[in-house]
A and B are shown apart, each in its own frame.
Chain A
Amino acid sequence: MTSAYEPWNEARGAEIIAEHDKLEGATLVILHAMQEAFGYVPEPAIPMIASALSLSRAEVHGVFTFYHDFRHEPAGRHVLKICRAEACQAAGGDALAARVEAKLGIAIGSTTPDARVTLEPIYCLGLCATAPSAMLDGRVVGRLDEQRLDALVAEAQR
Chain B
Amino acid sequence: MKMRIFVPRDAGAIAVGADDVVAALEQAAEKRGLPIEIIRNGSRGLYWLEPMVEVATVKGRVAYGPVSPADVPSLFDAMASNGPHALRLGLTEEIPWLKRQTRLTFARCGVIDPRSVGDYRAHDGYKGLERALTLTSDEILADVTASGLRGRGGAGFPTGIKWKTVAQASADRKYIVCNADEGDSGTFADRMIMEGDPFVVIEGMTIAGIAVGATKGYIYIRSEYPHAVAAMNAAIAVARRTGYLGERIVGSTHTFDLEVRVGAGAYVCGEETSLLESLEGRRGIVRAKPPLPAHKGLFGRPTVINNVLSFAAIPFILDNGAKAYADFGMGRSRGTMPIQLAGNIRHGGLFETAFGVTLGELVDDIGGGTFTGRPVRAVQVGGPLGAYFPRELFDTPFDYEAFAARDGLIGHGGIVVFDDSVDMAKQARFAMEFCAVESCGKCTPCRIGSTRGVETIDKIIRGERTSENLAVVEDLCNTMKFGSLCALGGFTPYPVLSALKHFREDFGPAPATLQAAE
Contacts and interface: CB of A to CB of B under 8 A. Distances in A.
Contacts of B191: 126
Interface stretch (A9-17, A72-80, A99-107, A137-145): A137-145
B183 A129 contact: no
Interface in A104-148: 122-131, 133, 138, 140-143
A124 B182 CA distance: 9
Given A69-B223, A88-B185, A90-B422, A126 B12 contact: yes
Interface string B259-292: 0011111110000000000111111100000000
B342 interface: yes
Nearest to B350: A129
Interface in A1-45: 24-29, 31-32
B281 A67 contact: no
Given A86-B186, A126-B225, A130-B50, A68 B265 contact: yes
Contacts of B419: 90
The residue among B186, B261, B280 with the most chain A CB atoms within 10 A of its own CB is B186
A128 B342 contact: yes
Contacts, number: 153
Contacts of A25: 279-282, 299
A131 B187 CA distance: 12
Interface in B179-230: 182-188, 190-192, 223-228
B436 interface: no
B110 interface: no
Interface in A52-88: 53, 59, 62-63, 66-70, 85-88
A61 B186 CA distance: 33
A66 B342 CA distance: 30
B47 A141 contact: no
Nearest to A85: B185
Contacts of B182: 126
Contacts of B188: 126-129
Contacts of B418: 90
Contact of A128 (B190, B266, B299, B340): B340
B15 A128 contact: no
A46 to B, nearest CB: 14
A133 B16 CA distance: 10
Given A86-B380, A143-B16, A131 B343 contact: yes
Contacts of A86: 185-186, 343, 380, 384, 416, 427, 430
A67 B266 contact: yes
B342 A28 contact: no
B153 to A, nearest CB: 15
A140 B14 contact: yes
22 contacts: A27-B281, A27-B282, A28-B281, A66-B266, A66-B283, A68-B265, A68-B266, A86-B430, A124-B187, A124-B224, A125-B224, A126-B11, A126-B192, A126-B225, A127-B15, A129-B45, A130-B12, A138-B226, A140-B11, A140-B14, A142-B15, A143-B15
Given A26-B281, A62-B282, A138-B226, 9 more contacts: A24-B280, A28-B263, A32-B262, A86-B416, A90-B418, A126-B228, A128-B186, A129-B47, A129-B348
